[in-house]
DNA sequence: CTGAAAGCGCTAACAT
DNA sequence: ATGTTAGCGCTTTCAG
């Protein structure tokens, strides 16, 4: 096997003329080792290009120094940004980040977690899909793998989570449109089963009710053609919306394209405000007002929370009596990015 | 330690009243095991929620079933798309995909590879930065880790690679602009040290020379402000370009925004053609004509090539005399996506 | 300050 | 068809 070709700790020991214990001490900081011996061992390590075998360490009981990240898709800019910062935190904690995509499918979620358990990953970060059953929660709890939920909590579980404040974001969006004087504010989206979307819809509902405005919800916009149908319906409507709040990135883009292609003036005929900021929001005509999520921060904090729990875990081993810190959930703020599609300026 | 709390193979053996070998056979396919025993062992596995410990298997000489992916950034849509498909291939090969970001920094590249070696990753896929020295090549060769280069080859090495045909892409772009009748075609970009950019510049050079047109290269466009300066220079130019070919995604976007903000009519006053397609290219006014790269395909083929080499590697172990297959490099085609910014329609 | 030896969980001879 | 046992490379008592 390839692995066995690599020099081992005892090869180094032999070459340096010392015991394996000494070499082990050297690669683990070199404390309690005579400076002369230390130098000799180091030279042997260099000469042999020795690298400790993580598998052997893990087998001895050390952590694997790898964490898992389960996201629906890594090509999605939102999760890509989360992943980037999570990888950063992992690196700072001398750990590897293993990425698994779940496509929001419960089967892939469970399968992926099992693979991670098999690899004895130290912990994992998961953005769970909208599954209704409790298999995910149960597996996570039974497995006893430290886990942190990201962007979406694991339903009915005590797994700590880091999410954006979706309801507040939607509320700010609604308030802004209301302040502009719009009376018929529609709420368009796809994937209504997702936690984030449900929360945003709730924020919309609350705001509309509080302002005494009608609820105009369409949660069937999943692609360009459904967006175009919705716009056509709007055009034929005797009492059409004067503003549209789109609850997710792709919906915003499809709706924008549909409005553009059907020649609907934005914001004159209908205003547009999109949940999720995107790179070209400022370059479109008109530029799109959005609710911006702290994507990198979500990934960063989720990873940091996980490593925090990991530390705690290790301490627990030593003093079983240690009191576990209370679950700490994190809600991050969103920002309203004012541009022109809402009627500003 | 947490790991040791998990049931082991011998726990299963004990519970099932069999030897460890039998359990091992069961978890490795269950061949050569009496059906009755097999069922009993399976029941014990279920009951204990036993999962084999990958570290122990690895220590015994098996592969780790994990590969590494080194990219400048995972938030970059190009690499995110590559990563998504690479992860897919990894899953199909029962392997994990570990993602490391390098920011194009040689130091991070080397450090990341060393970490992967320590974890005895089966192989790795790397999109190397524009480093001038040979440290990367040397490390890769010395380490003997199967590696495949993606999007950019490792200079002067025999490491197989999967790249898009950058030069041909640029040639197609130039030809298209020339066919439109443009005479002064500028080539704008940033990061001229990158392999991909150098190749594209080469394609531009060749096309211009072949057509007897002047070379108008500006490789200093790295952000919005440099893009705006370039546009101002263009406006002040007594003999300004009538078309701009931007060589990378971000340059295209900065230049588009600068042109828009400075009120330059596209394509009337100056045409624009961008290398790299992007989601909203069709939604901008005017829509942007681009050279589209097969991003997912690049990641997919790189991963498949790696696993192919991995197989070969294992065979080599058995029959050392086996003749290694010749290095197989892959060049993928790009596509011209005609929209309006070049003057089409 | 240093070394010998046990053992982590698994697989693969080698028996039976 | 199944069990016994020797390690894989490392860390860690426990002695010197």
Question: A141-145, A162-166, B59-63 — which one is most confidently predicted on average?
Answer: A162-166
Structure tokens at B114: 């060393």
* Sheet order of strands, B271-275 included: B216-218, B185-188, B243-246, B271-275, B289-292, B335-337
Residue B292 DSSP label: E
Query: In this structure, are residues A332 and A164 in contact, taking their beta carbons and an 8 Å threshold?
Result: yes
Question: A216-220, A311-315, B13-17 — which one is most confidently predicted on average?
Answer: A216-220
Q: What is the rounded CA–CA span in Å between residue A283 and residue B181?
A: 28
Per-residue pLDDT, B3: 38
Query: In this structure, are residues A219 and A190 in contact, taking their beta carbons and an 8 Å threshold?
Result: yes
CB contact under 8 A, B99 and A87: yes
Per-residue pLDDT, A142: 87
Per-residue pLDDT, A30: 80
Does the pLDDT at position B323 exceed 80? Answer: no
Strands A243-246 and B335-337: unpaired
Does the pLDDT at position B324 exceed 60? Answer: no
What mean pLDDT is predicted for residues B316-324? 47
Element (DSSP H or E) covering residue B272: strand B271-275
**Whole-angstrom distance between the N-terminal and C-terminal Cα of chain A?**
67
Q: Cα separations (Å) of A291 from A1, A76, A172?
A: 53, 17, 8
Per-residue pLDDT, B322: 44
Q: What is the rounded CA–CA span in Å between residue A89 and residue A99?
A: 14
Q: What is the rounded CA–CA span in Å between residue A152 and residue A140?
A: 15
A chain contacts of residue B118, beta-carbon cutoff 8 Å: 51-54
Q: In which residue are the tokens 């045409």 written?
A: B271
Q: Shortest CA distance to B344 belongs to which of B154, B181, B203, B220?
A: B181
CA A58 – C1' C4 distance (Å)?
A: 22
Is the peptide bond between B268 and the residue preceding it cis, with omega within 30 degrees of 0?
A: no
pLDDT digits (tens, 9 = 90+) for A55-80: 999 999 889 999 999 999 999 999 99
Shortest CA to C1' contact from B60: nucleotide: D8
Per-residue pLDDT, A320: 42
pLDDT band at B316 (very low <50, low <70, confident <90, very high): low
DSSP 3-state of A322:
coil
Give B121 or A318, the one with higher predicted confidence.
B121
Q: Which residues 6+ apart lie within 8 Å of A211 measured at CB?
A: A174, A178
CA B58 – C1' D12 distance (Å)?
A: 22
B chain contacts of residue A75, beta-carbon cutoff 8 Å: 77, 80-81, 83-84, 296
CB contact under 8 A, A119 and B59: no
Query: In this structure, are residues A84 and B101 in contact, taking their beta carbons and an 8 Å threshold?
Result: yes
Positions on chain C within 7 A of a protein C-beta? 1-14
Q: In which residue are the tokens 């702290």 written?
A: A294
CA A21 – C1' D16 distance (Å)?
A: 14
Positions on chain D within 7 A of a protein C-beta? 1-13
pTM, 2 dp: 0.93
Mutate to test the interface with B, among A9, A72, A75 (most CBs of B within 10 A): A75
Query: In this structure, are residues A82 and A138 in contact, taking their beta carbons and an 8 Å threshold?
Result: no
What mean pLDDT is predicted for residues B171-194? 97
Q: Between A77-92 and A295-318, two packed helices, what is the crossing angle to 10 degrees?
A: 40
Per-residue pLDDT, A63: 92
> Which residue from A58, A87, A278 is facing B55, i.e. has the nearest CB?
A58
What pairs with residue A162 in β-bridges? A150, A330
Query: In this structure, are residues B327 and B153 in contact, taking their beta carbons and an 8 Å threshold?
Result: no
Q: What is the rounded CA–CA span in Å between residue B64 and residue A1?
A: 12
> Which residue from B53, B84, B118 is facing A73, i.e. has the nearest CB?
B84
**54-113 on A, CB < 7 Å from strand D:** 56-57, 59-62
What mean pLDDT is predicted for residues B236-257? 96
Per-residue pLDDT, B315: 60
Q: Shortest CA distance to B164 belongs to which of B305, B48, B292?
A: B292
Query: In this structure, are residues B186 and B218 in contact, taking their beta carbons and an 8 Å threshold?
Result: yes
Q: What is the rounded CA–CA span in Å between residue B101 and residue B54?
A: 25
Instruction: Tell me the percentage of chain B whose pLDDT exceeds 90.
Output: 86
Per-residue pLDDT, A315: 60
Whether the CA torsion A183, A189, A194, A196 is positive or negative: it is negative
Q: Cα separations (Å) of A270 from A227, A235, A256, A340?
A: 14, 10, 11, 12
Is the peptide bond between A207 and the residue preceding it cis, with omega within 30 degrees of 0?
A: no
Q: Shortest CA distance to A98 belongs to which of A54, A132, A67?
A: A67
Per-residue pLDDT, B334: 98
Per-residue pLDDT, B321: 41
B chain contacts of residue A294, beta-carbon cutoff 8 Å: none
Q: In which residue are the tokens 């293993």 written?
A: A98
Q: What is the rounded CA–CA span in Å between residue B99 and residue B162?
A: 18
């Amino acid at each position: 096997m390839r692995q066995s070709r690599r020099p081992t700790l005892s090869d180094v020991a032999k070459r340096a003329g010392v015991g394996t214990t000494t070499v082990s001490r050297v690669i683990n900081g070199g404390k309690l080792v005579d400076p002369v011996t230390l130098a000799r061992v180091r030279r042997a390590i260099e000469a042999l290009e020795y690298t400790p075998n993580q598998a052997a360490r893990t087998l001895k009981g050390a952590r694997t120094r790898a964490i898992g990240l389960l996201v629906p898709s890594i090509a999605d800019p939102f999760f890509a940004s989360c992943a980037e910062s999570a990888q950063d935190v992992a690196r700072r904690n001398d750990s590897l980040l293993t990425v698994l995509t779940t496509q929001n499918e419960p089967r892939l979620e469970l399968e992926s977690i099992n693979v991670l358990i098999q690899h004895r990953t130290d912990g994992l970060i998961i953005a769970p899909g909208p599954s209704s059953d409790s298999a995910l929660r149960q597996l996570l709890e039974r497995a006893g793998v430290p886990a942190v939920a990201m962007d979406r909590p694991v339903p009915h579980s005590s797994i700590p989570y880091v999410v954006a404040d979706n309801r507040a974001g939607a509320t700010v969006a609604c308030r802004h449109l209301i302040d502009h004087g719009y009376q018929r504010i529609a709420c368009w989206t796809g994937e209504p089963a997702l936690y984030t979307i449900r929360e945003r819809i709730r924020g919309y509902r609350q705001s509309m009710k509080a302002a005494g405005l009608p609820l105009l919800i369409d949660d069937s916009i999943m692609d360009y053609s459904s967006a175009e149908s919705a716009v056509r319906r709007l055009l034929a409507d005797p009492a059409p919306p004067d503003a549209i709040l789109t609850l997710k990135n792709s919906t915003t883009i499809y709706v924008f394209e549909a409005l553009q292609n059907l020649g609907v003036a934005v914001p004159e005929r209908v205003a547009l405000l999109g949940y999720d900021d995107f790179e070209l929001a400022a370059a479109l005509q008109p530029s799109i007002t959005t609710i911006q999520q702290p994507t990198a921060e979500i990934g960063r904090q989720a990873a940091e929370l996980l490593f925090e729990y990991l530390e705690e875990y290790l301490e627990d081993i030593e003093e079983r009596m240690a009191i576990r810190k209370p679950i700490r959930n994190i809600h991050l703020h969103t920002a309203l990015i004012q541009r022109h599609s809402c009627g500003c300026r």
